[in-house]
Every structure is written in structure tokens, then in C-alpha cells.
Structure 1
Amino acid sequence: MADTLVLRRVRRVSGEEIDIVIKNGVIAAITGPGQGQAEREWDGSGAYVSSGWIDMHVHAFPEFDPYGDEIDEIGVRRGVTTIVDAGSCGADRIADLIASGKQAKTNLLAFLNISRIGLLRIDELSHMEWIDREMVKQAISKYGGSIVGLKARISRSVVGDSGVEPLRVARELSEATGLPLMVHIGSGPPDIREVIPLLARKDIITHYLNGKKNNLFDDEGQPLPVLTDAVERGVHLDVGHGTASFSFRVAEAAKRHGIDPDTISTDIYRGNRLNGPVYSMGHVLSKFLLLGYPLEEVIAAVTTRAAAWLGKPELGRIREGEIANLTLFTLEDGPVVLNDSEGEERTASQVIQAKGVVGNGEFIECEIRA
């Protein structure tokens, strides 16, 4: 007998209440509430359903310390059905990362670090000889189905005396391979005004809401011209919260000027999963509710907009006949204290709590954080 599950009386973010019937991992029917028929059911009264959350910036290679974690710990167990590892591995270890992804319940994609050593060291772009152009191209040729772009971390502690030169090489590699760049920004040098003009349409600025001195807003909260120019030419803005890269103050300035995130990502790894300030995708999304973004816009940033950037629109929709990748979540009443990466606290009246996922057709309950 076919294995069937009905998600009973779940709500889309629009408020529409539905039943979703899943048969052998595929969405078999989307019906009115209480109408779906199946062997098993999950009572979703009070819960929302969206297409599976996509986290565009994680670190999922546990062998690297401090920036590593287990794939499913930061994926399905926290409501995320697809993760994109943001350059943990270069050409030396990308095969190992992709192999581990095949054993996980969470879908794994990756940005390839332009440094062949990846995050084996946290100054991986401080020696230009670690950027091996041929190894980059060979890795893409072999693992192109899993590699979605190139990653370059362009901040002082990473590049050392190399300055902006690693980004110039990354730009050349992007043009040679046809893959976009994800560029980490942080403390200078190099100055942010040297970095951003090198980015092109579809490239990603991650950590764009960081509160460091070398950030994208001036002392009055006005966006720098390099940022507004980048937005106009189609550069993609990603949050990449992380341990040190999200500021409430900067996020409020960005919102005032309509410079909103294209995608919301966590930059999660073991340390900030266990000790904060990240904890989970739901925790990070709650900060954007607190900032005044509507629920539909917040969820779009981890579903339809992320899927569109990846060129995988099927990951961002709920449709009969397709493999079920879904996230189930609730809005829980506060008060709950939320922290940014600068140590600033805000009190939220509501937070987003992932309850479960259907990942590639399999129902998995999420780990609940108190």
C-alpha cells in the first residue's frame, strides 16, 4: 500500500487554510481543510506551511573549526530543507563536502571557495598561490551540478596583505566559468568602496547589514553610493547574519531607505547555533518580523526569492505532482529577547518557530529551541 500523509488544516502565509496530501514523497493533492484523505495525518491547526526554507549561507563541513557543522543539524532539524554551503571548501575538499551531502536528508548545494584550502585556515586568501585557477575549473567541471557559484571572503583577516587582488582573480574566474560570485564583506582593508564596484549582476553581497566600520552605510545611516549603484545593476543582497555580521541599527537604516534583503541567510555553524546569536533560521527570520517586515516578505526571502536565484523555481513552490519539500512553522507569542551581532537586545512580541519539514517527501519533526 502506498505511504500517504496528510498535513491537516495548515495555512499558507496568505492565510488560506488547506490540506496537503503527500503520497510516496510527492504532493498528490491540495484540498480544502479537512478534505484530504491519507493513512497518516499531522494536525497543522495553527501552523503555517511554505515551500521548504532555503538557507543561502551556511557552513556545513564539520571537519573545519570553527566554521563547520553537521548538515542535518543546520538543515532539516531546524526547518531548512535546502542549504547552500558558502565556501567552506575549495578544490581540495569539495568532493568530500558533496559526498557528505548525498548521505544527508537536507538538500546540499555549495559555493566553491576560490582558495583551494577553503576554511582549513581562516586566512585562506592571504597567499595568492592558494588560488589555483586550474583546480577551480576542474572542480566545477566535475561537480558543477552541486556548485552554484564562487565564494571570496574579502575582509582584512582573510586576505591579509593580498588586498583586493583575490577579488580581481575571483572576477576573472567568474567570467571564465559563467558562475556568479558570493562576496563576504567585513573589516577593512580593503575599503568597501574598492570591493563593491567589482561585483556584477547576480553576484551576491553577503553580510550587507553588518555593523563594522567598513560597512555599506555612513555614520548618518545613508547608503553609500557604491551600494545604491550595485543594487541598480542587479547585485543580490544577502543577510548572512553570523556571529559578527548583523546589526539592528544598520538593518533599520537599510529598511528606511528601501534597501531590503533579497535573501535572508543565517551563516550558521556549530558555535553560533549552540551559543547564539543565530540559533536557527526561525530565530533569524524573527528579527525581520521585529523590524517590521510582513510575514509574506520574510518567508519569500527564504523560499521563492532564494529558489529563483538558484535557478530552481520548483524549490520555491507548493504544487501537485512535485516532490514535497515543505516547512511547517508557527508564530509564537512573546515576549522574546533577540540579540544582534553587536550585543544589542530587542524584545519581540512574536517569533517564528519551525515545527517540522517534509524533506524530499519525508516528514521530520524539528528540534525545538526553548
Structure 2
Amino acid sequence: MTHTYVLQNLQVTTGEKVDIIIRGNQIQHITNAGQGAAPTAYDYSGCYVSKGWIDLHVHANKKLEPYGDELDLIGVQQGVTTVVDAGSCGADSVSDLFPTTDSAKTNLLAFLNVSTIGLQRIDELSNLDWLKEAALLETIAVHPTKIVGLKVRMSKSVVKDSGIRPLQIARSWAKRTSLPLMVHIGSGPPDITDILPQLEKGDIITHFLNGKANNLFSEDGQPLPELLSAINRGVRLDVGHGTASFSFQVAEYAKKHAIQPFSISSDIYRGNRQNGPVYSLADVASKFLLLGYSLPQVIDAVTLLPAQAIGRPELGQLKTGTTADLTLFEVRPSQQMLTDSEGKTRTAKQMIHTVGVIKNGEIITS
């Protein structure tokens, strides 16, 4: 027998209060608060609701050290219903990411590392022999519903003497497969002004608020002309906070110039979940409330917009007839100290706390 229940007195980010009736694993109806009826009712007065959060940049291969973690620990147990692994695995090891049987409840998608070895080494683009087009195409063909893009890490420690060539190869493969390219930026060379012109509409720059010398802003806080040109042609900006890739100062430069993240993501893995400065996607999102972004802007950046970036718009739409993947959360007054990737701090006046998720119709508390 299909279970039907109602979540009562929830609030969406624009202020309306709603009841949501769920039947099986589908949203059956969304109505004004107080008007929803079902055999079982759960009162969530004081809670917000959104479509299930999407973390566009995680590392979810539990076999990898240090860049790995248990899927549900960075997913449903933190209020996130879908995570997108950002290049942990290449063609050689993607079976580690997508085992044939998995009891995890979190939805897992992935950007495939263009290097066959993935993050088995941290210099995976230093040898161009590890970039094998046939292996990449075969892997995508085996996992067409799971692989949503390609990942290339363009920083000095990764490419070493390969220069810009891995990006050029990855860009051609992205075009051939009609998949977006997620490009990690960090320390140079390659210089950021050589990387940005290679990117096309729908590609994603991750770590765009990093404070390293090779970042997207000048020393006096002005956005690089190449960045503005990339934005104008439809390149998307992803936070990818991580251990070393988010600076409050650079984020303040971006806010001043109305350059806002397309997606807020964590770059979470075991170490920065347990020891900071990431902890959770909710903590990262709270930093953007602190920076002055509105709650609707912040929640769109963990639902609607990342869903669009990976070509799965239904994952980001809170509406009748869609899968019952929801995130329930509160915004609480706070005096919590938040730390960026450079050890700089700011004090948050409010924090986002996840209460739980509805995943395929099942209620899972955080």
C-alpha cells in the first residue's frame, strides 16, 4: 500500500507557508498551510522547505585518501539529497564510485576526471599518456545517466610541465560528448588569463573565490577582464569552498561587483568535514548569508541553479508531480565564528541548520 502523508506549516524562501502532500515517492500536491490533508501529518512549523539540496562539488569515493568520504555522511545526513563527485575518478576507477550494489540513500552523480587515473595521484595531468579519449568515451557510454560532465584540474601541482594542453584536450572532449566542463583553478602556471579564454558557455569554473595569487581578481579587488568576458559568454561560477579555495576577501570583491556564484558547493571530503573549515554545505551556505546574499539567492544556488548546470532541471524544481526529494531547514540567530580557507574569520548573525530531508518519500532526520 502506498504511504501518503502531509508536511504541514512549512515556509518557502519567498515567505509563503505551505502544506506538502506526499504519496509514495512523489509530491502529490502543494497547497496553502492548513489546507493539506492526509492519513498521517507531520507539523514542521518554523521550518523552511526547498527542493532537495545539490552539492555540485564533493569527493565521495570512500576508498580515496585524503580526498574521499562516505556518501551519506556528506549527503542525506547533512540535508543534501544529491551530490556530484567532482573528478575523484577517471575511467580506470569509476567503478569504485558507482558500485553495482549500494545501500546509500543519497543520489550520486559525477564529473568524470579526464585523466584515467583520477585522484589516485594529485598530479594526474602531468603525463598526457593518462588522457585517453577511447577510455573516457567508453566510460561515459557505460554510465550515461550518472556522468554529468568532465573535470579538469588546472593548477601547477596537477599539470606540472603539461601547461595548458590538458585543458585544450578536455575542452575538445567536452564538445564531442556535449557535456559541460568543470575547471578547477588554483596556483599557476598555467596563468588564469590563459585558462579563461578556453572556456565556453555552460562550462563551470570551480574555486572561483580562492585567494591564491592566480585568482580571478586584481590586487585592488577588480574582476579580471577575462573573467567578465567569460561570464558574458555563459561560463558558470561555482564556489567549491574546500580546504584551500575560499577567501572572505575575494568573496567580498565579488559581491561588491555583483559577481555572484551560480552554485554554492562545498568541495567536502573526510578531512574538511571533520576538521573544517567546510564542515557541511549548510555551513558554506551560511557564509553567503553573512556576505549579504538573500536567503532565496542562497537556496537557489544549492537547488535550482546547480540542477540547471548538470542538465537535470527537475532536481531543482519544487512542484507537484516531481520526486519527493526535499530539504527541511531552519535559519537560526547566531554569533558563530566562521573561518575561510586562509584562516580569516567573520561572525555570522544567522546560520542555516538542516533539520532533515525527504528522499524518495522517506523522512530522514539530520
TM-score, normalized by the shorter chain, greater than 0.5: yes
> After the TM superposition, which residues 64-213 of structure 1 pair with which residues of structure 2 at under 5 Å, given as runs?
64-99=64-99, 102-213=102-213
Matching residue of 1:47: 47
CA deviations on 1:279-316 (whole Å, 9 max, x unpaired) are 11110000000000000001001111111222222111
Task: Using the TM superposition, name which of 31-40 and 305-314 deviates more.
Answer: 31-40
CA deviations on 1:15-60 (whole Å, 9 max, x unpaired) are 1111111111211222222332234333211110001111110000
Q: Distance in 1 between matches of 2:102 and 2:198?
A: 34
Matching residue of 1:333: 333
Task: Using the TM superposition, name which of 169-178 and 61-70 deviates more.
Answer: 169-178
* Contact 2:180 2:310 survives alignment (8 Å): no
CA deviations on 1:163-215 (whole Å, 9 max, x unpaired) are 11111111121122221210000011111111111111100000000000010
* Contact 1:72 1:106 survives alignment (8 Å): yes
CA deviations on 1:76-99 (whole Å, 9 max, x unpaired) are 111111111000000011123122
**TM-score normalised according to structure 2 size:** 0.97
CA positional deviation for 1:6: 1.7
* Contact 1:53 1:327 survives alignment (8 Å): yes
Q: Distance in 2 between matches of 1:348 and 1:279?
A: 15
| Equivalent position SS for 2:282 | helix
Matching residue of 2:236: 236
Matching residue of 2:364: 364
Q: Distance in 2 between matches of 1:19 and 1:259?
A: 35
CA positional deviation for 1:5: 2.4
Task: Using the TM superposition, name which of 168-177 and 282-291 deviates more.
Answer: 168-177
| Equivalent position SS for 1:74 | coil
Gap change, CA 1:101 and 1:110, over 3 Å in 2: farther
* Contact 1:55 1:83 survives alignment (8 Å): yes
Q: Distance in 2 between matches of 1:176 and 1:101?
A: 31
Q: Distance in 2 between matches of 1:32 and 1:88?
A: 43
Structure 2 residue 9 is the aligned partner of structure 1 residue 9: yes
Task: Using the TM superposition, name which of 34-43 and 255-264 deviates more.
Answer: 34-43
Q: Distance in 1 between matches of 2:32 and 2:200?
A: 45
Identity %, equivalent residues: 58
Q: Distance in 1 between matches of 2:100 and 2:205?
A: 27
What amino acid is aligned across from residue 219 of structure 1 in structure 2? E
* Contact 2:148 2:311 survives alignment (8 Å): no
What amino acid is aligned across from residue 278 of structure 1 in structure 2? V
Matching residue of 1:257: 257
Gaps of 5+ in 1: none
CA positional deviation for 1:102: 4.9
* Contact 1:101 1:108 survives alignment (8 Å): no
Q: Distance in 2 between matches of 1:271 and 1:16?
A: 38
| Equivalent position SS for 1:28 | strand
Q: Distance in 2 between matches of 1:314 and 1:133?
A: 30
The count of corresponding residues between Structure 1 and Structure 2 is 366
Matching residue of 1:224: 224
CA deviations on 1:239-264 (whole Å, 9 max, x unpaired) are 00000000000000011111111111
Gaps of 5+ in 2: none
CA positional deviation for 1:148: 0.7
Q: Distance in 1 between matches of 2:133 and 2:32?
A: 54
Q: Distance in 2 between matches of 1:210 and 1:48?
A: 30
Report the aligned-residue RMSD: 1.2
Gap change, CA 1:108 and 1:101, over 3 Å in 2: farther
Q: Distance in 1 between matches of 2:13 and 2:323?
A: 20
| Equivalent position SS for 1:110 | strand
Q: Distance in 2 between matches of 1:103 and 1:93?
A: 20
Gap change, CA 1:101 and 1:313, over 3 Å in 2: farther
Matching residue of 1:297: 297
Gap change, CA 1:101 and 1:168, over 3 Å in 2: farther
* Contact 1:71 1:101 survives alignment (8 Å): no
Gap change, CA 1:101 and 1:326, over 3 Å in 2: farther
CA positional deviation for 1:132: 1.1
Q: Distance in 2 between matches of 1:20 and 1:266?
A: 29
CA positional deviation for 1:112: 0.4
Matching residue of 2:245: 245
Q: Distance in 1 between matches of 2:364 and 2:41?
A: 13
| Equivalent position SS for 2:27 | strand
Q: Distance in 2 between matches of 1:236 and 1:97?
A: 25
CA positional deviation for 1:361: 1.4
Matching residue of 1:349: 349
**TM-score normalised according to structure 1 size:** 0.96
What amino acid is aligned across from residue 224 of structure 2 in structure 1? L
CA positional deviation for 1:143: 1.1
Matching residue of 1:284: 284
Task: Using the TM superposition, name which of 301-310 and 197-206 deviates more.
Answer: 301-310
* Contact 1:239 1:246 survives alignment (8 Å): yes
* Contact 1:101 1:107 survives alignment (8 Å): no
